[in-house]
Amino acid sequence: MSFPHRHELETTTLLSRYQGEEEARTLAGWLDLGGYGRLRTAIGMTPDDIITLVKDSGLRGRGGAGFPTGLKWSFMPKDDGKPHYLCCNADESEPGAFKDREVLRWTPHLLIEGCLIAARAIGAGHAYIYVRGEFFPYTKILNEAVTEAYENGYIGEDIMGLGWSCELTVHNGAGAYIAGEETGLMNSLMGNRAEPWSKPPFPAQAGVFGMPTTVNNVETLATVPGIVEHGADWYRQWGSEKSPGTKLWCCSGHLVRPGNYELALGLPLREIIFDVCGGTPSGKPVKAVIPGGSSTAFLTGDELDCVTTYEGMQEAGSSLGTASPIVMDADTDIVAAMRRIAQFYAHESCGQCVQCREGTQWIVRILQRIEAGDGELRDFDTLYELCEQMTGRTICVLADSVVFPLRSSLDKFRSEYEARMSPSLVAAG
């Protein structure tokens, strides 16, 4: 049912190649597929060489921000005598995104291998995989794989007899969107509330347990073994100069064939929605798309000719985010959809910053009022003012994340909001 689709169009399968194949889950099956060979290669390389390789590949973080992975690794101090940590962010909680669970459930050893290669590069002696609490079935699969890898000498002391050691621990979250933010994740891992902290200190200076730390997304780490095996140029054959490689897409909403697809970066968004996913089930035109998960700006049905690279989506006024387009057909109630999105952020605000804690609640209440037909024209001013006050003024970007869809929906679908307001109140406003 929730199987990665194989569709007739040409797809590139670096990450999803073994998704759907039971054998790849087991250590024996993974070894048959050449598993842990890339780790062997990486252990034979110097950490600097691994970092240079990943830098050359142009791999960018797949957690949403798109920060260059090799550069992030290079921020880790060298020879400082402190323990270093790698945190793998498997908290996948951006509404619209459901890609990391496919890596966890089909190719857990690929993720373990990626984690260990990254740990080697940044000098970490312990890698933590932080899996969102709800992912019970996938945690079980990952647990099996970790246990098997430990029992056979692929994790732990003297890995494969090559004289390099690294521990790995699977850690479950317990239901908090904000634990997907890197400092929130580290706080949660330390047994605190998942409250983000103000940077600096940056994770590479003082991260989890006060030590230099790198936090990488599951998809990012799962991409690394392929780069180690085939090289940077191989990886650059897909995508653009600034956005090389492939991306796991998570397509949801009103689509004939929703689901996961691995596609080279750079396809037109329109092609993904219509050719890959078959358009809307109703056959009606697309009214709106949130292209990168719920924290990105709305695009209208007329703005779908943008190119799906980090830079292309930025030019289009939105963001690639986690490459999770949520598609809405012509019958969609934009006010209700935006209200539902805002409710999520109000629920998940950690409460540290006033702008976010109060602002998200205000937005929900105003949108509920508009949805109920009691909106006033001046509500637009209040909402825009909230957008202004909530942007760039908080510890983390949760507040900004609700502003992106809100502001763009107000700009692009103003008439939808106005249509919900009663004529007398609009006049009074």
Partner 1 sequence: MSRRIHPAVSGAQPFQRAERSEIEGPILATDEGRERLEMSLSRYPVKRAALLPMLGFVQEKRGWISAADMAEVAAALDLTPAYVHSIASFYTMYNKHPVGRHLVQVCTNISCHLNGGEEVLERFLHEVGTREGETSKDGGFTVIEAECLGACGFATAVQVNDEYFESVTPETVPDIVRDLRGRA
Residues that bind partner 1 (CB under 8 A): 1-2, 83, 92-98, 100-101, 131-137, 139-140, 142-143, 146-147, 150-151, 155, 167-177, 188-194, 209, 250-254, 258-260, 290, 294, 324, 326, 328, 332, 336-337, 340-341, 344, 347-348, 350
Which one, 28 or 428, has the nearer CB to partner 1? 28
Nearer of residues 322 and 355 to partner 1, judged by Cβ? 322
Give the containing element (helix H, strand E) for 89.
Answer: strand 84-90
In the chain the first and final C-alpha atoms are separated, in Å, by 50
Q: Would you mind telling me the total number of residues written for the chain in this entry?
A: 429
Q: Pseudo-torsion of CA 40, 43, 49, 52, nearest 10°?
A: 70
List the strands of the sheet with 299-300, edge to edge.
259-264, 246-253, 326-329, 286-290, 299-300
**Shortest spacing between CB 243 and partner 1, in angstroms:** 23
Residue number, 12 or 260, with CB nearest to partner 1: 260
| The two three-digit tokens of residue 388, written as one number | 């202004």
Buried b (16+ CB within 10 A) or exposed e, 170-190: bbbbeebbbbbbbbbbbbbbe
CA nearest 232: which of 246, 221, 244? 244
Residue with smaller CB distance to partner 1, 39 or 54: 39
Residue 1 vs 79, nearer CB to partner 1: 1
Q: In the complex with partner 1, which residue's Cβ is closer, 191 or 423?
A: 191
Place of tokens 């103000």: 198
| C-beta of residue 285 within 8 angstroms of C-beta of residue 360 | no
> Which amino acid, residue 145?
A
